[in-house]
Structure 1
Amino acid sequence: MSLQRFNSNERMSAAVTYANLVFLAGQVPDDRSEDAAGQTRQVLAKIDNLLAAAGSDRSKLLSAQIWLKDIEADFDAMNAVWSEWLPAGCAPARATVEARLASADVLVEIMVIAAQA
């Protein structure tokens, strides 16, 4: 079994593959001026790109962890985008919590694990 790292620096990798699994680091939006729905779209697009680079896609998600800056204010908006993005019948095990994120203007961060194609 080979281990492969994607978009690595001295601190972390954006994705790591091992044993036919893809582990993504938490993804945050680049344009932080958008609302929770817009930030969620950005994050999910980044996840799509990383999964594709690692030989997987959103239909193979196994688990997801979602952190929201304000779960009461942003849960419904994030969830609407998530539900639109997720293929029917492919819901992963998932946890969503409120957390203080690394930057005050980040409203959503998502980390996933997927099977490789």
Structure 2
Amino acid sequence: MNDVVRINTNHRRSSAVTYNGIVFLGGQTAEDRSQDIRGQTQQTLAKIDQFLAEAGTDKSRLLTAQIWLKNIKTDFAIMNEVWDAWTAPGASPTRATAQCDMGQPEVLVEIIVTAAIGKIEG
């Protein structure tokens, strides 16, 4: 479990890296960037679910999250609705949300998470 494992890696970055029982996901964004904030958030969280599963864990094991919004004033409430429906009950991670200039103007939300690997026992 102490080996570094890289998931979906190219010359610049990995989508996820596991080490010592922790999975670190890089910034995830929606594939269909023509969607509004609700659609982009849903797609981004679905990608996070996929990478967590590939790493051997799930959203119930989230430790922390960083959420970047293109426009926090207009999109914060809707993003939170989607986030709240997605998170596992009783397993909310620490979280920070901020507004930032995105690398591509059509990206409305980018999410980074860290999670423990494995299932909760007992």
What TM-score bracket applies, with the shorter chain setting the length? over 0.9
Find out whether 1:65 has 2:83 as its counterpart: no
- RMSD, aligned CA: 0.4
- CA distance in structure 2 between the partners assigned to 1:115 and 1:85 by the alignment: 18
Q: Aligned to 1:47, what secondary structure does the other structure show?
A: helix
Cα distance in 2, alignment partners of residues 10 and 68 from structure 1 = 26
Q: Which residue matches 1:34? A: 35
2:105 paired with 1:104: yes
Q: TM-score, normalised by structure 1?
A: 0.99
Give me the whole-angstrom Cα distance separating, in 2, the residues matched to 1:54 and 1:87.
Answer: 18
Runs of 4+ in 1 over 4 A off after TM superposition: none
1:8 is aligned to 2:9: yes
TM-score (norm 2): 0.95
Q: 5+ residue gaps in structure 1?
A: none
Q: Which amino acid aligns with 1:19?
A: N
In the alignment, residue 86 of structure 2 is paired with which amino acid? W
C-alpha separation in 2, matches of 1:18 and 1:87:
23
Q: What stretches of structure 2 of length at least 5 have no aligned partner? A: none
